[in-house]
Amino acid sequence: MSAIAVHQFAQCITCHAWSPDHSMIAFCPNNNEVHIHKLVEDKWERIHVLQKHDQIVSGIDWSIRSNRIVTVSHDRNSYVWNKEGADWMPTLVILRLNRAALCVQWSPRENKFAVGSGAKTVCICYYEQDNNWWVSKLIRKRHDSSVTSVAWHPNNILLATTSTDGKCRVFSTFIKGVDTRGSGTSSAGDTKFGEQIVQLDLSFCWAFGVKWSPSGKTLAYVGHNSMIYFVDEVGPAPSAQTVAFRDLPLRDVLFVSERMVIGVGFDCNPMVFAADERGLWSFLRFLGERKISSSGAKYGSQFSEAFGKLYGQSKHGISNDIGEASRSRGGIHENCINCIVPVKKEGQSTNTRFSTSGLDGKVVTWDLENQGDLSEYL
Amino acid sequence: MAGHAGFVEADNAEAIITRIEHKSRKIESLLKQYKPVEALKTALEGSPPKTRDERCKSANWIVVHRAIMAIKDVEGMFSSLDPEYYDILMKYLYRGLSTGDRPTCDQCLRIHEKLTERAGLGCILRSLSDTVNTV
């Protein structure tokens, strides 16, 4: 079994992030708070509640080296939380948005973070030593709709975004005084802030969940049309592959290696995509165990299941703790998965662990070790 | 879809109509030879016509409709229809269902059931979410 830990933290989780040593988890239980839990003697205990936002927290990222938490919310603000003594102290970052902030990610060097928003803009925030202040620089007039996801290239300069206008774009985020010339690759070193490197126009509907491969050579993102897109040679002449699959659309993706991608979404069960020796991507299998039933029966049961949910919502109480055998769809998650995060220690080359959270309020940790058929792609 | 040789300019409606007429004659002759699956493939090729012109879309729909209605053995059809046609066929099934015509709906529902078994919910999602290449 590839799921090594299942924990029901809340009724619904919008996003989650791990502390650098993975002893703590920060998540938003679908409200304006961020809860931090710590593993104490095999039990998760709530040790902090970060209360500063006014509306739902839509993104959390916890930096590995500097041990800082950044949160963004539908209230259009962002906070950077620093641990001072026993408490987490917030610093307000004024994003200058007129719509909700939707996603956030620290850059690889942790000197910048990017925020995607419903205002059709991306904010690149960096710390200004002189003023003791986080400054937000905006990339405007590039997106035709909300920015649903952001992903940093390992070179700390390039940023990929997906949007509900169906496009995936790559920008330069070079900031004078923060980045040094030649710090990235040669092609990225001489670009201006906000310059669009490429616009990928593969999807005709909403795009979500963009990620770079560990080396930054390949880009993957998903569409709301049950397709996943893989892009090589991101630049003037990108080469793209599209893979259509037979199940419900994905919301987020994660590269576990150059040749393997995990996709999570409305099918409640992580999907494994892998590239063969020639670099051709295809759907491999589901990661969780799945009831094997004839498809006809499956659709029938889904309908009755949906009706059951409609009329019997009250039975969805908070059932704390581990190991509740899932009844509904034969998977571990019982609702849409909308967040996938690597569980990675710094300096580790291969990473086989990741965690997922979703609308069912569970956080599931997965390990791909001992998955015989997948080991060749790691 | 399914690699048609001649990519047509969006405003070139007359050329599209001519091509659809040609396709229609080909389909008739295939149906006379009792090759309904070949006829359906021919109908789906080059569909949807890459244009916003409703006249072209209707003309193409009439041709596809003719081919869909000629399918008698649905299981047999899927054993020789390649998966590359699934997405576009799903779109035309929904167009058929939207007509409200009883025999058309019956036929489309029958094919829809088998197609969903084969191509999954993803196929339905693709046909619903694509608002650009409408049929």
What six digits make up the tokens of A52?
């500063």
Give the pLDDT confidence score for residue A318 in this predicted structure: 38
Residue entry with tokens 């997948």: A374
Q: How big is the CA angle at B31 (ends B30 and B32), to the nearest 5 degrees?
A: 90
What six digits make up the tokens of A64?
């590995």
What six digits make up the tokens of A376?
């060749």
Q: Which residue has the higher pLDDT, A312 or B30?
A: B30
* pLDDT tens per residue across span A86-113: 999 999 999 999 999 999 999 999 999 9
What six digits make up the tokens of A333?
């998650």
Give the pLDDT confidence score for residue B135 in this predicted structure: 81
| CB nearest to B119's CB, from A205, A206, A246 | A246
* pLDDT tens per residue across span A18-63: 999 899 999 999 999 999 999 998 899 999 999 999 999 999 999 9
- Contact list in B for residue A226 (CB cut-off 8 A) is 120-123, 125-126
Of A252, A259, A212, whose CA–CA distance to A228 is shortest? A252
Q: Is B76 on the interface with A (CB under 8 A)?
A: no
Give the pLDDT confidence score for residue A189 in this predicted structure: 54
In the predicted model, is pLDDT for residue A316 greater than 50? no
* Mean pLDDT rounded to a whole number for chain A: 86
* pLDDT tens per residue across span A51-87: 999 999 999 999 999 999 999 999 999 999 999 999 9
CATH class, B13-129 region: mainly alpha
- The answer to whether the Cβ–Cβ distance between B129 and A248 falls below 8 Å is no
Distance between CA atoms of A28 and A36, rounded to whole angstroms?
Answer: 9
Q: Which residue has the higher pLDDT, A318 or A97?
A: A97
Question: How large is the average pLDDT for residues A293-297?
Answer: 42
Distance between CA atoms of A78 and A138, rounded to whole angstroms?
Answer: 14
Domain spanning A3-377, CATH architecture: 7 Propeller (2.130)
**Poorest-pLDDT segment among A16-25, A224-233, A296-305, A344-353:** A296-305
Residue entry with tokens 């030649």: A182
**Interface pTM, i.e. ipTM:** 0.81
Give the pLDDT confidence score for residue A319 in this predicted structure: 38
Give the pLDDT confidence score for residue A132 in this predicted structure: 87
In the predicted model, is pLDDT for residue A252 greater than 90? yes
Q: Is B81 on the interface with A (CB under 8 A)?
A: no
Q: According to DSSP H, which parts of B33-134 are helical?
A: 36-44, 54-69, 74-80, 86-99, 102-129
How far is A224 from chain B, CA to nearest CA, in Å? 7
In the predicted model, is pLDDT for residue A351 greater than 80? no
Band (pLDDT 50/70/90 cuts) for residue A126 is: very high
- Contact list in A for residue B119 (CB cut-off 8 A) is 246
Q: Which residues of chain B have pLDDT under 50?
A: 1-8, 10
Sheet holding A207-212: strands in order across? A207-212, A218-223, A227-232, A239-244
Question: How large is the average pLDDT for residues A124-140?
Answer: 92
Count of A–B CB contacts within 8 Å? 48
Contact A72, A103 (CB under 8 A): yes
- The answer to whether the Cβ–Cβ distance between A246 and B121 falls below 8 Å is yes
- The answer to whether the Cβ–Cβ distance between A244 and B122 falls below 8 Å is yes
- The answer to whether the Cβ–Cβ distance between B130 and A247 falls below 8 Å is no
Query: Other CB atoms closer than 10 Å to residue A79's CB: what's the count?
Result: 21
Q: Is A226 on the interface with B (CB under 8 A)?
A: yes
Distance between CA atoms of A368 and A343, rounded to whole angstroms?
Answer: 12
Q: Which residue has the higher pLDDT, A326 or A231?
A: A231
- Contact list in A for residue B1 (CB cut-off 8 A) is none
Contact A45, A320 (CB under 8 A): no
Band (pLDDT 50/70/90 cuts) for residue A326 is: very low
Question: Which residues sit opposite A160 in a β-bridge?
Answer: A151, A170
Ranges of each domain in chain A:
3-377
Give the pLDDT confidence score for residue A262 in this predicted structure: 95
Q: According to DSSP H, which parts of chain A are helical?
A: 186-189, 295-311
- The SS3 assignment for A313 reads helix
DSSP A169: E
In the predicted model, is pLDDT for residue A315 greater than 50? no
Interface test with A, best of B118, B125, B130 (most A CBs within 10 A): B125
